[in-house]
Structure 1
Amino acid sequence: MSLKSCYRYLWGEVEQVGWKGWTKMWNFFIPPKVKHFFWQVCSVKLRGRRVDVPDKCVLCLDGAESSNHLFLQCSLARSFWEQKGWLGVGSRDMAFLEWVRNFFSSKNEEQSCEMIMFCWSVWQFRNRKVWHNENVDVDKVAALSRAFLQGWQQAQFQGGAARARLREGTQVWKKPAIGRFKMNVDAAIGADGKRGLGWVIRDSSGIFVAAGWLKHLEFGRP
């Protein structure tokens, strides 16, 4: 039985899977485990994922933790949606699945992939906060979602599984020597003149280790 067949089998056990938008999501060029995570989030309550869910959101300490809260109502998620101009997709009080439906129908595939990856990253940092009390902010969450997706897509490119779907000019990431780490750095200047610098560190297996950034940099003239 294929992975997609397993998904379809599971769909029959969940009330909300009749929505045709799932077919679109299975074709997105994102990691299968992220698709599975997102399907679970939309189809099953967090408490049904065999994890202990705190009564209160550990990221904002305001409101009971649920899919609706964690990905729509939490101040961390809303900060990112606001940065992207996506708050207008729907009301913060609507069910998360309904919000996702609105998103898929009004945004393109690239934006939908970015949204799904961010939700996955929110869940990763939520777990880090629960188990390691790691500090979390929206920039760190966004950096992980971008780095993980980029690394996965480049791995598919190297394996020849998805060459046609990668944009022309994509540079292939090369692993460092065993026991070493590699840091990739990028900088950008926005339309408003603001400058930023970000970096991602991965180990010799290509696994994400850390990410950082600096915002609103100022450079003097020589």
Structure 2
Amino acid sequence: MQWEDMRKYIDSIQLGVGRDQVYWGLNGNGRFSTKSMYKWLENPLSGCHFRWIWKAKIPLKIKIFLWQLSQDVVLTRQVMKERRWPGDPKCSFCDNTESSRHLFFTCPVAKVVWRCVGMAL
């Protein structure tokens, strides 16, 4: 689509005169509720390879965190850098790039923490 075609298309859009309103589609009355959001979040994702996360008998906030970790969207320095954060993407502990994998598993400090947790179990 060329610029002129796009301009004509946008100009042809008819806007209604009524007030705009927000509609929440996850429940029948159109209003947001935390209950409807939690209910939606607890439903298994179709085709998800991480279905075990949603079926686990753990708090929802932990499920959400594990899903974020599995999708590599936890706000690490690397992810923030990809989102145009001006800071340094290096780990504060060891100077490697701070990815989710690094922060929780391969960083020397994370390895010490995992060893301590393992001994405490």
The structure having more radius of gyration, on CA atoms, is: 2
Which protein has greater RCO, CA pairs closer than 8 Å, 6+ apart? 1
Band the TM-score falls in, shorter-chain normalisation: 0.3 to 0.5
| TM-score computed with the length of structure 1 as normaliser | 0.28
| TM-score computed with the length of structure 2 as normaliser | 0.47
